[in-house]
């Protein structure tokens, strides 16, 4: 089969090199790679997922490491903490205006310029292949998927329309969702 003609190393080695190149630029702007990852995550996480524990699960890191990252970002003024409604000692993390501004100069943007040079066909194949690879690997490692609502089994499209809410709904959290909210990643995506 065609699949057998391509060695796994032909995929894994370029991925390793690309990852290294992408990480190399992440010591700019007084931030380190872990801090950039946390800022990116908070810009994409929905309201149920902007907590230290969800960030820890997304990055596959330890509580101690994430705690240090959060402290550093808060000290530098990139993120803010607030108590989480009805959840005791739990907290919300959010980007400050300075954090949002920093993401406009995200070092990953340099990588986007290289992606722009690929043909449309290659971009589509790459996107599909990488999405499949990520899904398979996450399942094998039993890691959470962190997808968005439209691909989640708890999502009900237009499920909140009948009572004038939403217009969508989430059966897991029992809440109405706006269309904008459904584009953010979620710790309970399934």
Show the site string, 110-149: x = touches ligand SF4 by CB under 6 A, - = not.
Answer: ---------------------------------------x
Phi, psi of 169, deg, nearest 5: -145, 160
Rounded to whole angstroms, the Cα distance separating 64 from 25 reads 25
Show the site string, 147-186: x = touches ligand SF4 by CB under 6 A, - = not.
Answer: --x--x-xx--------------x-xx------------x
Residue-by-residue DSSP string for 162-174: TTT--SEEETTTT
47 interacts with ligand SF4 by CB under 6 A? no
Residue number, 76 or 84, with CB nearest to ligand SF4: 84
Residue number, 73 or 152, with CB nearest to ligand SF4: 152
Q: Which two tokens stand for residue 4?
A: 């057998």
Residue number, 100 or 148, with CB nearest to ligand SF4: 148
Residues that bind ligand SF4 (CB under 6 A): 46, 48, 149, 152, 154-155, 170, 172-173, 186, 188-189
């Amino acid at each position: 089969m065609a699949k057998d003609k391509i060695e796994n190393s032909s995929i894994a080695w370029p991925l390793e090199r690309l990852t290294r190149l992408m990480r190399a630029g992440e010591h700019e702007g007084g931030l380190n790679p872990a801090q950039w990852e946390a800022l990116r995550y908070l810009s994409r996480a929905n309201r149920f997922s902007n907590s230290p524990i969800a960030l820890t699960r997304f990055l596959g890191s330890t509580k101690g490491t994430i705690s240090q990252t959060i402290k550093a970002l808060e000290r530098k003024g990139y993120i803010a903490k607030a108590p989480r409604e009805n959840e005791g000692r739990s907290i919300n993390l959010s980007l400050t205006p300075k954090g949002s501004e920093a993401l406009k100069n995200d070092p990953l943007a340099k990588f986007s310029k290289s992606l722009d040079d690929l043909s449309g066909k290659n971009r589509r194949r790459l996107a599909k292949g990488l999405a499949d690879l990520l899904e398979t690997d996450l399942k094998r490692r039993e890691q959470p998927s962190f997808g968005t609502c439209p691909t989640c089994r708890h999502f009900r499209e237009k499920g909140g329309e009948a009572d004038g809410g939403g217009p969508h709904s989430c059966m897991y959290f029992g809440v109405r969702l706006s269309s904008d909210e459904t584009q953010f990643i979620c710790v309970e995506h399934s």
